[in-house]
Amino acid sequence: MSLSVDGGVYRISFGWIVMSVLLQLSEATKSYGPQTLLDHAECVISDNQKIGFIGRNGAGKSTLCRVLLGQEELDSGEVIRSPNLRVGYLQQHDPFVPGESALDFLMRDSNQPDWKCGEVAARFELKGRYLEGPVKELSGGWQTRVKLASLLLHEPNLLVLDEPTNFLDLRTQILLEHFLLDFDASVLVVSHDRSFLQATCNYTLELSRGKLTLYPAKVEQYLVVQEEQKETVRRYNATVQAKQKQLQTFIDKNRASAATASQARSKAKQLERLQTVDVEAKEASVKIRVPAVNQRQGTALRCEDLAIGYPDREIAKDIRIEIEHKSRVAIVGDNGQGKTTFLRTIVGSLEPKAGVMKWGHNCEFGTYAQHVYTTLPQTWTVHQYLESEAAKDVTTQQILDVAGSFLFKGDAIQKPIKVLSGGERARLCLAGLLLSSCNILILDEPGNHLDVETVEALAAALREYQGTVIFTSHDRHFMKLVATDVIEVKDGNVAVYAGDYDTYVYRINKEIEEGERAMGVVHKKAGTKESVSLNKDDKKAEKQQRKKLQTIEKKLAELDTRKKELSAEFAKTAAVAAAQKIHEELTSIGTEISKLEEEWASIQEELGWD
């Protein structure tokens, strides 16, 4: 890789591939008190890269975004920005003026004519009252669509999106995916939603212990390769340590004897040259252990001719559903259709407008809603609250284990609730709920304040939970892992969906694609818009690129086979010199594989297969 400057524009080269550099982070350091977020971190963002930015809660991802946007300063180091850089940032605050419509806002914000704004708004299904009615009366998901349309109208060459899927329904998430796949510029997406990153990003950037790692592949591949590399180093170190012990034993036995002293000195030199490779200590894994609950059989909830809504309006009626004990039911539907209304009705915070709703015998339910943490006792500590919520047979160690799973470790367990952030309070409520004796859990967006590892752990815990779970979530990966049944809220109806969660996602995707085809928009991933218009020269170039891809894939397969052979040989090798030689070849193969994968990813992107 090389970096050069051409007419004030930075360019980065990977072999024969040249890309303009939009942003470069060099020797960046940033700390808050004793916590180091960036430790001489390095990163380059070039044009046409779609980067998924991952890292644990508190690692510093949002801080880095603010640094890149110029909203915060580094302690040391620098951010080098291309003179051609045009950043688009998905704003979390409300940019709207009272009384204006979405169309008014788009015209005001972009200085584009109404026809252009309407054309772009249609990409996000913004039309009719959603486009021409008061924008402040729209739900959060629809307002996000308006903000995304405004970003597109500004024609940025780098989009920075910080947790863009939070609170978005599935339909809006898929629209955002299509938008990003069709977006002909760079994107940096901070998200805990692994499914979203996998669908939209072909590069992965990880922030861990102050260091940045940029990998030219999707997040799932990155995580697999990362673990494989660590395992190779661990195996190498184990072999080296065994050989060190063997050499040290020989030296200790023979250094005092005149006849073998020279051999001992030779072995000592070998021992001095034989070094282990530093391997980063694994971050503490999250394991949420849910206490046992009183198991029930049969029907947990029965609704007969139920109508739900508010005094001034009805949301849904003629609801006839049954939820069985030990099922895990995902409540799905577009924002504004009535998911929260349904949940509020079944937990008793809203009275049914008609019909019958009945819980089974000895059902004890606990709820987690987005704003439940506002009612926490301010003077209590984290530990006091968890003790008060825990079932009688839950031990102090179980309380500490669950608290640690939700990032309340060490001194944090004694923090007063009044000093906790909103995210910390939300996690505390969820931890308390999982420690309780409830055999029914009703969860509204439980993963919003959790990182990837904790979401995975929560999903695993809910699968082991012996009670019933009724939940909503914007995280498709989480929904897929947890849900055994699906209930859809749509167009005034609440009914059991005849299919699993994957089937539901597929249906929504097809509906969106049909709408895009009706508007003449062809999704890049689907392929036809570009390929139909290719002229002969384009087709010839594409054919050459396809051949190059095949050659790279063949070479990667050969290298992978050789890597496996060497790893097996390394594990059996007793000779120190031979082990060192094998390790050097493994390192060389790893470097070559990384270069080929970079080239493969770039060609995929050029062909529109990213």
- What was the pLDDT predicted at 41? 92
Rounded CA gap, 601 and 593, in Å? 12
How many Å from the N-terminal Cα to the C-terminal Cα in the chain? 22
Which residues does the chain have with pLDDT short of 50?
A: 1-18, 523, 525-536, 609-610
At 514 the pLDDT is 81
Residue at 334: amino acid letter: D
Q: What is the C-alpha to C-alpha distance for residues 516 and 263, in angstroms, rounded to an integer? A: 77
How many of the other CB atoms lie within 10 Å of CB of 347?
Answer: 17
pLDDT at 610: 45
Could you give phi then psi for residue 20, rounded to 5 degrees? Answer: -75, 135
| pLDDT value, residue 532 | 34
DSSP for 212-246, written as a single string: EEEESS-HHHHHHHHHHHHHHHHHHHHHHHHHHHH
- Res 535: pLDDT: 46
- Tell me how far apart the alpha carbons of residues 452 and 475 are, in angstroms, rounded to a whole number: 10
